[in-house]
């Protein structure tokens, strides 16, 4: 019988983690244990979940019964030990390699021996994260169960998810991760463990080139965004999208691509670095290429 995820754990109650937990509870209809080291973050996340569900009820996308059942499936905790009975856990913390490695070392100890250990990383090597699950690199008992489920943002809206296998990841783990993401209503694309994977390998150089066009005076920001919106039918232009993603995140991913692939075409724009240095990080800081 195929592996089935009957209970999910999610680490990180930020926008991504909360979105993953909410969609899993609603669409896949599984109990979800949401873990964060901050009770304040958990409270804020659950309040946001209530708001999203209430909005869906108001717009008649779901019924009151579905909203209540979804909320009942969500459990919040600050204790990692509460993940001792999950079949799969998805980590969604900031893109800090040392932090993710620390978490996965702990997950290998806390979670059941059959549990899939997934990361939502958008740029860090899955092979490196998997290595952290054991002090002995020849012991692949835990590392074979490590995979990336990189959800697109915002999770309740975007259907795409990248499934990335590390060098140690077993085919069975990949198949089970794909199946569960599809149960969540997502469309899974499988990628090799290469810098940027599929989405960011394609998207970030596109955004970076748009910033270089602005930096070198090829076009004004409105013209750059308008030609891509009205010429290629994308919902938002590259500079608006960069503001939405966060310019610090864009810079970090471009640096990862540049370092990992060693090709000058991945060199981050000088202007992008200056905006980050100025603290103009996009929508979340109130100013990026546009003011919010």
- Judge whether 16 is annotated as a binding position: yes
Catalytic residue set: 122, 150, 162, 200
- Please enumerate in sequence order all residues whose Cβ is within 8 A of that of 273, keeping only pairs 6 or more positions apart, or say none: 251
Is 185 labeled as ligand-binding?
Answer: no
The answer to whether 143 is a known ligand-binding residue is no
60 annotated ligand-binding residue: no
Q: Is 166 within any annotated ligand binding site? A: no
12 annotated as belonging to a binding site for a ligand: yes
Instruction: Check the annotation: does 153 bind a ligand.
Output: yes
Contacts of 140 (CB under 8 A, 6+ apart): 134, 168
Is 262 annotated as contributing to ligand binding? no
29 is known to lie in a ligand binding site:
no
Query: Would you say 123 is a known binding-site residue?
Result: no
In whole angstroms, what is the distance from residue 272 CA to residue 212 CA?
Answer: 8
14 assigned binding-site residue: yes
State the Cα–Cα distance between residues 74 and 90, nearest whole angstrom: 14
Known binding residue 15? Answer is yes
Residue 141: phi and psi, rounded to 5, are -55, -45
**Residue list for the binding site for NAD(+):** 12-17, 36, 95, 100, 122, 153, 284
Binding residues: 12-17, 36, 95, 100, 122, 153, 284
């Amino acid at each position: 019988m195929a592996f089935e995820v009957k209970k999910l754990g999610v680490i990180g109650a930020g926008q991504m983690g909360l979105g993953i937990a909410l969609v899993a509870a609603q669409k896949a209809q599984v109990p979800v244990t949401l873990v964060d080291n901050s009770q304040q973050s958990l409270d804020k996340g659950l309040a946001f979940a209530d708001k999203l569900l209430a909005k869906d009820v108001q717009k008649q996308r779901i019924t009151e019964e579905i909203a209540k059942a979804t909320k009942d499936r969500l459990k919040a905790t600050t204790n990692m030990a509460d993940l001792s009975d999950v079949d799969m856990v998805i980590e969604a913390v900031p893109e800090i390699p040392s932090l993710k490695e620390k978490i996965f070392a702990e997950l290998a100890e806390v979670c059941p021996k059959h549990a899939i250990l997934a990361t939502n990383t958008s740029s860090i090597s899955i092979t490196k994260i998997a290595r952290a699950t054991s002090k002995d690199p020849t012991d692949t008992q835990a590392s074979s169960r490590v995979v990336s489920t990189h959800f697109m943002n915002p999770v309740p809206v975007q259907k795409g998810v990248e499934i990335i296998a590390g060098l140690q990841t077993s085919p069975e783990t990949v198949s089970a991760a794909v199946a569960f993401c599809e149960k969540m209503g997502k469309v899974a694309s499988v990628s090799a463990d290469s810098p940027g994977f599929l989405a960011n390998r394609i998207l970030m150089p596109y955004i970076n080139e748009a910033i270089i066009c602005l930096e070198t005076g090829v076009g004004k920001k409105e013209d750059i965004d308008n030609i891509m919106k009205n010429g290629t039918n994308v919902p938002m232009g590259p500079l608006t999208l960069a503001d939405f993603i966060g310019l610090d995140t864009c810079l970090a991913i471009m640096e990862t691509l540049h370092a990992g692939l060693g090709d000058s075409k991945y060199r981050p724009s000088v202007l992008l670095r200056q905006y980050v240095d100025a603290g103009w990080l996009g929508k979340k800081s109130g100013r990026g290429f546009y003011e919010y």
